[in-house]
Structure 1
Amino acid sequence: MAVKVININRIGNILFSRNPRSRRIRLRVSAEAKVSVSYPYGVSLAEAVRFAEAHTSWIIRQRRKLEAIQPLFPENREISTRYHKIIVYPKGENTTLKQNGFNIEILYPAKLTIEHPEVQGHIRKVMTEIYRWEARHYLPGRLKELAALHHFKYARVTIRNNRSNWGSCSGRNNISLNLKLMTLPDHLIDYILLHELAHTEVKNHGEEFWKLLDSLTGNRARELLSEVRKHSVHSL
């Protein structure tokens, strides 16, 4: 699939690609504020360019929305996760990544600010993969420990990245955990894990469920829930 880069007034470079599976022209603004257009056979490149030009205002609005998103790193600094140390700083002309064991450097173009959507998009992608790795290495083991401690049984556990919840338990006792749990303090991670383990026995949020969860959390179930709600599942 050939890709052409064309500079559009007020927008900058746009990637144009012909997609044989497309039935219409598609315009996309990525998390890094990069713009791409895919178009089907039967549509010329010139038509695709005109389509992008006609949607200049829409593209600008989407980029402004990205700029309004709270930056993951509001300034150049170091952050420590459970297993990693990450430093973000400007250097060179491209967004790049350097890794030495558990030390990670995220570099972004010196001409851009750290709040720029392209930089923030790059950081979000890297941090998502870091938290995915950490979640896979920590959460299943911790869930197993808590299940053994409190005599729960579950079928299997999966790690996902979603924007709807911190975790879930299916009717077959399959537990799904959000990788963003790794952004929470340990006592809240444990609360979510215990919450899902409790659902292996009680499938609703009725009085019986809260009594069970209170017995697991020292009568702090609703207090911990209120604390969890101060954190956003949309953090990445």
Structure 2
Amino acid sequence: MIFNDDGTLEYTLTRSKRAKHVRLKVTRSKGLEIVVPETFKTKWLPSILEKRTDWIRNAARRLDLPERIEELPPLVPEQIVLPSMGYEYSIQSVPAVTISEKLVDAEKIIRTTTGLLSIETQRAVLLPDVVAESEKVELLRCWLVRCGKEYLPELLEDVSIEVGIPYKKVQIRLQKGRWGSCSSRGTISLNARLMLLPTELLRYILLHELAHVRHPNHSNAYWRYLESLDSKALEYDVSMRDAWKYIPRCFSM
């Protein structure tokens, strides 16, 4: 999704007042994004990209991204699987009147802060067909957070009781850079994208954050404790480095 047929790079250039250095990011939703200071001269860019070509290719591979733009999957997928729930949802773009007619039977009614409306019904998420792709993505993200808030706290409570580690409270949102976190006061924050991971990796993250209630850092003692909770903890931790391959583009960071 980054390299054109002639070998040139597709990228988004962002100038930032806060940036002090050139920063390259590869994400599933935006491809290659280059953040530069406001005073940066674009004539400097070719030499930088030439030096970082191998890094860009490797970053794309780690995210399971195709190199060619034409091979990129659609931003809004045809289906979404939530493995831990055992559910598969079809994603359908339909006329707004269809959504209105099915409101009474909807399992979930999703509204964005701007007033966009979609519903979940009979293992399908219905999106209005007249809105832009970016707005459909916003609706799907709201839907995923809703699913996370309904399911993840209950699952965390079950695992908490199982291993005997209490916590204060749990928050669910689309975190920008973490799968989860645990505050010094015992508040666990979970990324709604966990709903898209295989069951064993989701459970690992729950244990990972619960272990931080006992050990607030990643010391050797922490890892020993985590391994006492799950003998495959280190193996799962390595697997999490490539976990973004399970995340559809619409939910990417």
Alignment TM-score, normalising by the size of structure 2: 0.54
Q: Based on CA coordinates, which of the two structures has the bigger radius of gyration?
A: 1
Taking only the aligned residue pairs, the percentage that are identical comes to 29
What residue identity is the alignment partner of 1:229?
A: R
* 1:76/1:88 contact within 8 Å kept: no
SS at match of 1:230: helix
1:23-59 C-alpha deviation (Å, 9 max, x unpaired) = xxxxxxxx9xxxxxxxxxxxxxxxxxxxxxxxxxxxx
Aligned to 2:207: 194
Q: Which runs of 5+ in 1 are unaligned?
A: 1-30, 32-67, 110-116
Q: Which runs of 5+ in 2 are unaligned?
A: 1-28, 30-68, 100-117
Aligned to 1:215: 228
Q: How large is the RMSD of aligned CA atoms in angstroms?
A: 3.2
SS at match of 2:229: helix
User: Which one is further off, 131-140 or 70-79?
Assistant: 70-79
SS at match of 2:189: strand
SS at match of 2:177: coil
SS at match of 2:205: helix
What residue identity is the alignment partner of 1:160?
A: R
For residues 76 and 206 of structure 1, the distance between their equivalents in structure 2, rounded to whole angstroms, comes to 40
Residue 87 (structure 1) aligned to one of 91, 102, 115: 91
SS at match of 1:231: helix
What residue identity is the alignment partner of 1:228?
A: M
Q: Is residue 185 of structure 2 the alignment partner of residue 172 of structure 1?
A: yes
What residue identity is the alignment partner of 2:121?
A: N
User: Which one is further off, 161-170 or 192-201?
Assistant: 161-170
Residue 121 (structure 2) aligned to one of 100, 122, 147: 100
* 2:172/2:189 contact within 8 Å kept: yes
Q: Which has the higher contact order (CA 8 A, sep 6+)?
A: 2
Aligned to 2:44: none
1:159 Cα deviation from its structure 2 partner: 0.9
1:132-189 C-alpha deviation (Å, 9 max, x unpaired) = 1111111111111111111101111111222120111111111111111111111111
For residues 71 and 170 of structure 1, the distance between their equivalents in structure 2, rounded to whole angstroms, comes to 38
Say if 1:200 and 1:134 are closer, same or farther in 2 by CA, change over 3 A.
Answer: same
Q: 1 or 2, which has the higher helix percentage?
A: 2
* 2:79/2:88 contact within 8 Å kept: no
Alignment TM-score, normalising by the size of structure 1: 0.57
Residue 146 (structure 2) aligned to one of 111, 121, 133: 133
Q: Is residue 132 of structure 2 the alignment partner of residue 118 of structure 1?
A: yes
1:78 Cα deviation from its structure 2 partner: 3.0
For residues 72 and 126 of structure 1, the distance between their equivalents in structure 2, rounded to whole angstroms, comes to 19
What residue identity is the alignment partner of 2:252?
A: S
